Structure 1
């Protein structure tokens, strides 16, 4: 058998292997789509209803009445913001896929993802729980970029990050807003966002490299008061624990 024949057979085998991998990937994506579709359609219907101002104001009023505590960010959507659009549906679908495929799960080892540190940043932690926990804020992709699902209520109008320089520049603005917390930026591969299902926003507590608290997916599942309650209970458990020293 000559060399050309062997090379041809090798190319055919590689093509068949590639086609098989693509088929498996397509079937996997189809299965995931079927699983996520009902939840996605419900979310899309909610967004459509929220474009009716009478419904939006009533829903927001109920949400404000049931807010967890003074630490939780207020729910604020102006009448001019469009809720049901192609960009909003793409954002919701993206967030649900990240949540489905995340590798971070309660009780399991926390993914150790790559982040980028900001320049000239003071290394401080959140003061209230600095005695028991270090605080880290990972800035991910923009949930409401000015050239995407834009929000007129956003304090800054930031376009989609085209490169790491764009992301770090935007993260510097966030660093000014939270001076008591170390701020880092996700890589442009969005490794932290994917591993933790962080889009739009999410809270985690890690202890000894394991996830001991996993907050809901924001904005509706983002609860600082719930996080504070966990930390208060943890602090109380430390204060009430008794260490016995045995001298031999």
Structure 2
């Protein structure tokens, strides 16, 4: 959520170059887990219904692109080493860009530079 504004700017600036999609995975800072000050009040998801409900918080923030939800078994998050967050660019089914793992490696600026080259 911290860099959602920067993500939205990427979507605005590069929607002519790429289709954007957010995959909502396991909650990185659940209320009953690793908590930060000013955290969103979301517990660790015990089932798909809870994960879908938690993803609605993100949807309400209007990320300007579709939001899909990973399985509770974290299949996508695990395959893409995406926890807690990460950028990927796929072309013709192949990964052509893999950003560093968040939160410290999550870089909208780096993604912007990569997408600029695709214009």
Normalised-by-shorter TM-score class:
0.7 to 0.9
Bigger Rg, structure 1 or 2: 1
Q: Which residue of 2 aligns with 1:127?
A: 12
1:108-158 deviation per Cα after TM superposition (whole angstroms, max 9, x unaligned): xxxxxxxxxxxxxxxxxx33222121000000001111011111222x210
1:153 aligns with 2:88: no
Query: Greater share of strand residues, 1 or 2?
Result: 2
Q: Which residue of 2 aligns with 1:165?
A: 49
- How many Å separate the matches in 1 of 2:6 and 2:55? 22
Q: Which residue of 2 aligns with 1:139?
A: 24
Report the Cα offset of residue 172 of structure 1: 0.8
Note the residue ranges of structure 2 that are not aligned, 5 or more in a row: none
| RMSD of aligned Cα (Å) | 1.5
Report the Cα offset of residue 200 of structure 1: 1.1
- TM-score when normalising by structure 1: 0.43
Query: Greater share of helix residues, 1 or 2?
Result: 1
Runs of 4+ in 1 over 4 A off after TM superposition: none
Higher relative contact order (CA closer than 8 Å, sequence separation 6+) = 2
Note the residue ranges of structure 1 that are not aligned, 5 or more in a row: 1-69, 73-125, 236-248
Partner of 2:60: helix, strand, or coil?
helix
